[in-house]
């Protein structure tokens, strides 16, 4: 699969907290084992109870478009060939209050509406320096 923003587009540096999101091939959200609070992005501390017993849970991989913007101005030279492209904030089914940012692929960007059902798809990438493999969550429209 060619990546939505190009195969050379920058990869996020991995940390213990974001590695499940960018490499697992599933939508994983961090939950507090003490109070069941879901939080995104993951952190070392529960935002609700300040507990430290946190674990990732695999979500169904579906969600809804909460907000979207169609970008027409390439803010970086490597994006000149990619405009217009769509950035969406997707609320994650199964994780109340949690949303992630991504692109909605496989459709005309102007057809993506607020509230649209989406499902996760994963772009493959490899860091040319480290050899680290990525499965980057992206989104495509799904039936309601």
What's the rounded Cα separation, in Å, for the pair 18 and 11? Answer: 12
Which residues contribute to the site for Zn ion (CB under 5 A)? 32, 34-35, 37, 46, 48-49, 51
Q: Which is nearer to Zn ion, 29 or 90 (CB)?
A: 29
Cβ closer to Zn ion: 53 or 76? 53
Residues 21/137, Cβ–Cβ less than 8 Å = yes
In whole angstroms, the minimum distance from the beta carbon of 47 to Zn ion comes to: 8
Q: How far is the CB of 117 from Zn ion (least distance, A)?
A: 29
Least Å distance between CB 30 and Zn ion? 10
Measured from the CB atom, the residue of 25 and 51 that comes closer to Zn ion is: 51
Query: For residues 86, 87, 93 and 96, what is the CA-based torsion angle, rounded to 10 degrees?
Result: -150
């Amino acid at each position: 699969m060619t990546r939505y923003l190009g195969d050379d587009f920058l990869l996020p540096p991995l940390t213990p907290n974001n590695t499940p999101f960018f490499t697992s091939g599933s939508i994983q959200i961090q939950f507090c084992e003490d109070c069941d609070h879901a939080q995104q992005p993951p952190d070392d501390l529960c935002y609700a109870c300040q507990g430290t017993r946190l674990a990732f849970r695999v979500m169904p991989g579906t969600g809804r478009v909460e907000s979207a913007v169609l970008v027409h101005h390439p803010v970086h030279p490597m994006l000149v060939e990619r405009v217009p492209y769509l950035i969406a904030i997707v609320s994650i089914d199964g994780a109340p209050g949690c949303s992630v940012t991504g692109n909605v692929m496989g459709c005309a960007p102007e057809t993506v509406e607020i509230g649209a059902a989406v499902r996760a798809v994963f772009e493959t990438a490899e860091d040319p320096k480290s050899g680290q493999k990525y499965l980057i969550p992206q989104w495509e429209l799904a039936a309601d």
